[in-house]
Chain A
Amino acid sequence: MAAGATYNPISTTTLGSAQSSVSFSSFSGYTDLLLVTNLTFSNTTNLFFNVNSDTSALYSNTLIEGEGTTTVSAQQSGQTRISMGYGGTTAGNRVNHYINIMNYSNTSTFKSVITYVANTPTDTLAQLGLYRSTSAITSIQLTPQIGNFATGSTFTLYGIAAA
């Protein structure tokens, strides 16, 4: 028997003005989280992802990216955040991130983040990010590497509960 409906919208943030960061901190009671963005920046820049306000060098990632004519794979280790890929400033060319934060509240494993990025003007990207801590994730921080998120950018957090 099915255990019940899930995939609940937890909260949505729509920026009424340019903002230098967006955070989420109230999402207990689920197994996985999905954070969906639709955004532009004040500068062409990278999206940084942190959890628990932790900026120590506990983050790493492996990615694969398609840029129209080529594929690229890259890796970063010992980082102070996970880089989620570049986006631009053109209002009509928004970047979408689908950030799956897996098994986020368990205290036995390091935390993995599966991200799919649709940046239509330039590339598409998928990556596996790692946070080398067994601590439960209790907050999420998104920050542009340079400048601000633009007005009208949206950030929606969903919770998925396992039986």
Chain B
Amino acid sequence: MWWARLLNVISGLFGAPTPVSTTAYESIQTVTVGSGGQASIDFTSIPSTFKHLQIRATARGTAAVTSQEQYITYNGTSSNYYSAHLLYGTGSSTALSTVSTYTTVNLMPRLVAASSTASAFTTYITDILDYQNTNKYKTVRSLGGFDANGSGEMDFMSGLWMNTAAISSINIRPSSGNFAEFSKFALYGIKG
């Protein structure tokens, strides 16, 4: 866009460090968990003006285990319309899994939790593709994991929500307990 390029030139003249973006990638909403934790993260009122969504997360669970599962659901629906495949490495072995038993949720990268190294957080990048399309089931993919200096897991995941409805809300929750303080979930929209 010509006006953005002009602003970049002007800001450059005054030494501004951040150029004006001309990209099709926009920040929609961010949730940062406060003291006491938070049972789930909800993104509601998602704009319909994008082609894809991306979640960039830094998260930790409060359950008294070294790591735990976390789940994502859409539009408040927890019927039997979810499936997932994953490929992961634990540092000593790799494994493949079809998580057909998780029919009410899609899995997300494993969440480091309270019994693991303090201040270590799971991080992941999740793409929700063509979320407004009402002719397709919805596909989600994630890349992420955690490392705790001697333990950890790296995950590739794909999930399917077998529903053609446009996605208007997203819920993310740990398998038990809360997301810990300082967990951060940022939702972005990508235009197409």
Using a CB–CB cutoff of 8 Å, the interface residues on chain A facing chain B are 1-9, 26, 28-29, 31-32, 60-65, 71-75, 77-78, 100, 102-103, 106, 108-110, 112, 114, 116, 126-130, 132, 134, 159-163
Contact = CB atoms under 8 A, between A and B. Distances in A.
A128 B58 CA distance: 12
Given A103-B58, A130-B147, A62 B154 contact: yes
A64 B147 CA distance: 12
A73 B25 contact: no
B156 A128 contact: no
Contacts of B21: 4-8
A102 B21 CA distance: 20
Contact of A162 (B24, B143, B156, B186): B186
| Interface residue SS majority, chain B | strand
A32 B25 CA distance: 14
B1 to A, nearest CB: 10
Interface in B141-192: 143-154, 156, 181-182, 184, 186, 188-189
A2 B26 contact: yes
A102 B27 contact: no
A73 B90 contact: yes
Contact of B27 (A2, A61, A116): A2
B58 A61 contact: no
B189 A75 contact: no
B111 to A, nearest CB: 13
Nearest to A100: B125
B22 interface: yes
Nearest to B29: A163
B74 interface: no
B89 A6 contact: no
B150 A126 contact: no
A6 B25 contact: yes
Given A32-B56, A62-B154, A102-B56, A78 B25 contact: no
Interface in B107-147: 117, 119-125, 143-147
Interface residues of B, number: 53
Contacts of B147: 60-62, 75, 112, 128-130
A20 B13 CA distance: 32
Nearest to A161: B27
Given A64-B154, A64-B156, A5 B149 contact: no
B120 A26 contact: no
A5 B119 contact: no
A5 B23 CA distance: 6
B26 A6 contact: yes
B102 to A, nearest CB: 21
A4 B150 contact: no
Interface-central residue, A100, A103, A127, by most chain B CB under 10 Å:
A103
A31 B186 contact: yes
Nearest to A163: B27
B147 to A, nearest CB: 4
Query: Which of the listed residues A78, A110, A134 has the most CB atoms from chain B within 10 Å of its own CB?
Result: A110
Residue from the set B18, B25, B60 with the largest chain A CB neighbour count within 10 Å: B18
Contacts of B121: 103, 109-110, 112
A152 to B, nearest CB: 25
A71 B95 CA distance: 9
11 contacts: A2-B189, A8-B18, A61-B152, A62-B151, A71-B94, A73-B94, A75-B90, A75-B151, A103-B58, A103-B123, A109-B121
